[in-house]
Structure 1
């Protein structure tokens, strides 16, 4: 079963927790993993920046991914939050759990 796996970084654990708990509570994601302490190197406004961030792994489906993006955009402090949508193949049991969890 195909699911959406979204990568999104946050500046700190507090923001990561807020976004993760909101997405799960609002049934826009079945699960969000928070990976603390990643180092990101990127260009922003003509300068190379290095920051320690949290990486979110957001598990959702195609029906909810756009609503999840809108909600993250409301909560996220960055001007341009990372939002990388990947199609992932889930086991039948995990995919069914995800779909059942996201039903309202």
Structure 2
């Protein structure tokens, strides 16, 4: 069995691995966002899911839109720059940006995420 690295719930180190959930209005833009975030070392990996229907209230009106889910693997230290870049690339006034802590994972994968999502020099 592979060894897991566990991170405490109260951890807040810049190299803590986190997962960011977001979305894009279509696959072309989702691919562009993923490409830019990885190429700029803001994320180690971005997974694009199958389009789904999102239902939400916006400015008092019920909206329904097809969106492509984005699952972004990065580090806590990259979150400010990642959020800013996502806002620049995204057409929504309020893009989804939810940060989920990673409680553990395969040590070699966690090290890879940290190495890929490094602070820009």
**How would you bin the TM-score normalised by the shorter chain?**
over 0.9
Q: Counterpart of 1:90 in 2: which secondary structure?
A: strand
CA–CA separation in structure 1 for the residues paired with 2:20 and 2:116: 17
CA–CA separation in structure 2 for the residues paired with 1:87 and 1:37: 24
Q: Taking structure 2 as the reference length, what is the TM-score of the superposition?
A: 0.81
- Tell me the residue number matched to 1:80: 94
Q: Which has a greater percent of strand?
A: 1
- Tell me the residue number matched to 1:25: 39
Q: Taking structure 1 as the reference length, what is the TM-score of the superposition?
A: 0.93
Which contiguous aligned blocks of 4+ residues in structure 1 show a shift greater than 4 angstroms? none
Superposed CA offset, 1:16-46 (max 9, x none): 0111000000000000000121111111111
Runs of 5+ consecutive residues of structure 2 not aligned to the other structure: 6-15
CA–CA separation in structure 2 for the residues paired with 1:102 and 1:47: 38
RMSD of aligned residue pairs (Cα, Å): 1.2
Q: Work out the number of aligned pairs and report it.
A: 104
- Tell me the residue number matched to 2:11: none
Higher gyration radius (CA): 2
